Amino acid sequence: MQERFQAVLKRRLQSQFESHPPLFPWETQITDYPECADEPVIALVPTWGWTNQQFDLDLPMPLPDSIFRQLLEKCQALLTSPALLGPKLIQAVEGFFPKESRIILNELAGLVLTGATRSKKLKLPSVDGEYSHLQPRQQMLLSLLAAKQLFESLTLSVSSKQPLERQWLTRAGRLNLSVEYHCQQQVGKLRVQGELPSQGVIKLQGKDSFTLAETSTLGALSVELNCVQPNETYTLTIQFKDMDQQPLLFAIIPTE
């Protein structure tokens, strides 16, 4: 008798659902939904193309991609700060270690600046190791080493006596930069030539002026800025059109 009652109840409920289907809370009437959308609702975010530069850094082991990207963003944000390199290193990495002592971070930053990172106490594993397996002090040391090399790679100190060349490995290929500073009768001119592996824009900027150039194909671009003063900081930004990302920022400091 109980099984028959359950069968009758099931058929009655099924009949009611078919004649009066239930609505979702946001619906006021029955709506037919497609089985699949014609276009994705959320666009995929492409890989951040500047982080390939990590392969060119002299590190005992790589940082995780997400950490290296954040570190690069922090270094770029601090690049034009008048602070010395030591404080910049600490500011760049301290956000990754909120529970660690600032005293330890200061100590490790000092070791990185002086190149005294061969201490057995701070020895890092071989390249076969993983970042997550490191002790906090070792993670801090590795992050500081990476930050120091990033600041050095992003800072272009060019002399009027000798041009400067710099490379940056990107997802699209290798970016080649050549920087020249000419000074005659106290009038300076800064010239940057870039060999781009992709279509993009290159912009050179000072306090009161800027110049830019762009190309729709890969190849060479050049920009010049006049009335350049020695020992002042000028910024160079590079952006590839086929990468949805923020530009790569360099700081150029011309010297006599």
Look at 27-41, 70-84, 192-206 and tell me which has the smallest mean pLDDT: 27-41
In a domain, 8, yes or no: no
In a domain, 179, yes or no: yes
Look at 65-69, 80-84, 121-125, 198-202 and tell me which has the smallest mean pLDDT: 121-125
Q: Other C-beta atoms within 10 Å of 74: how many?
A: 19
What pLDDT shows up at residue 256?
80
- Using CA atoms, how far residue 206 sits from 28, 200, 212, 232, in Å, is 59, 20, 12, 9
- Using CA atoms, how far residue 66 sits from 69, 132, 144, in Å, is 5, 13, 16
What pLDDT shows up at residue 246?
83
Q: Is 56 left (phi over 0), alpha (psi -120 to 50) or beta?
A: alpha
pLDDT band for position 100 (50/70/90)? confident
Annotate 24-60 with DSSP letters as a single string: -TT-SS-----SS-SS-SSPPPPP-GGGGGGGGS--S
Is there a single domain that holds both residue 148 and residue 167? Answer: no
Is there a single domain that holds both residue 70 and residue 147? Answer: yes
Is there a single domain that holds both residue 139 and residue 168? Answer: no
Report the CATH number at residue 217: 2.60.40
In a domain, 67, yes or no: yes
Tokens 């609505």 identify what position? 23
Nearest Cα neighbor of 71 from 56, 58, 53 is 53
In a domain, 47, yes or no: no
Is there a single domain that holds both residue 174 and residue 247? Answer: yes
> How far, in Å, CA of 116 to CA of 136, rounded?
18
In a domain, 48, yes or no: no
Q: Does residue 103 sit in helix, strand or coil?
A: helix
> How far, in Å, CA of 200 to CA of 155, rounded?
21
Count the helix, strand and coil residues of the chain and give each as a percent rounded to the nearest 5. Answer: 35, 30, 35
In a domain, 147, yes or no: yes
Mean pLDDT over the full length of the chain? 83
Is there a single domain that holds both residue 111 and residue 170? Answer: no
Q: Whole domain around residue 147: which residue ranges?
A: 55-154
In a domain, 2, yes or no: no
> How far, in Å, CA of 121 to CA of 108, rounded?
11
Residue 34, pLDDT > 50, answer no
What pLDDT shows up at residue 23?
56
What pLDDT shows up at residue 46?
43
Give mean pLDDT, residues 118-131. 60
- Using CA atoms, how far residue 130 sits from 134, 145, 158, in Å, is 7, 16, 37
Tokens 């939904």 identify what position? 33
Is there a single domain that holds both residue 146 and residue 222? Answer: no
Residue 95, pLDDT > 80, answer yes
Residue 109, pLDDT > 60, answer yes
In a domain, 32, yes or no: no
Torsions phi, psi for 188 (to 5 deg): -105, 150
Is there a single domain that holds both residue 133 and residue 171? Answer: no
pLDDT band for position 85 (50/70/90)? very high
* Domain end point (choices 117, 132, 154): 154
DSSP β-ladder status, 164-170 and 173-184: antiparallel
